[in-house]
Amino acid sequence: MEVNADSAEEGLDETRVRNIFAEKLEKRRSLEREHGITLSGPQTDGPLFYVEGKPLRNYGSQGQERTSVICLKMAETEQIKISSGVQPVLLLDDIFSKLDRKSSGKLLEELVERHQSFITAPRKEAMFEHLGHLRIKTIERGVISDG
């Protein structure tokens, strides 16, 4: 697997990137104000994953792409831990929705074994049961309870 930055401005000099960015900002200004969001900038860039030279976005499943992003996040936290000595907390929202049961189980085991994480899910997954040492909280109608 290969990972590259997803940026149309990659490989350009700083002046050219500034000019392209300014043009995009000007062109999209009214739409951005209308929607209350920024449509141009580094926050819109993301990693592109390739398998055998083909972009995973076009040739892989949503589950494969999601797993790749989560694995990248886990690698980032490992690097932070190595460089700073501090174990970061991974905040993960609804990561299992595009994954099959087997992939979800393997991912959850890796997260529990090697990472400090806070995971949200719209429903209690059956795979949580075999990892009895997890602290699971349920929120229903604004009330937080155990399990």
- Mean per-residue pLDDT, 129-140: 74
Q: Which regions of the chain does DSSP assign to beta strands (E)?
A: 2-6, 46-51, 54-55, 89-93, 116-120, 137-140, 143-146
What pLDDT was estimated at residue 4? 61
Using pLDDT thresholds of 50, 70 and 90, give the confidence band for residue 109: confident
- At 44 the pLDDT is 67
**pTM > 0.85: yes or no:** no
- Please count the other Cβ atoms lying within 10 Å of the Cβ belonging to residue 107: 21
Angstrom distance (rounded) from CA 36 to CA 147: 38
All domains of the chain, ordered by start, with CATH? 1-59 (no CATH), 61-147 (3.40.50.300)
- Other CB atoms within a 10 A radius of the CB of residue 65 amount to 19
pLDDT category at 11 given cuts 50, 70, 90 is: low
DSSP letter (8 states) at residue 3: E
pLDDT tens per residue, range 35-66: 888 877 766 666 778 888 888 888 888 888 88
Q: What b/e readout covers 89-104, taking b as 16+ CB neighbours within 10 angstroms? A: ebebeebbeebeeebb
Neighbours of 108 (CB within 10 A): 21
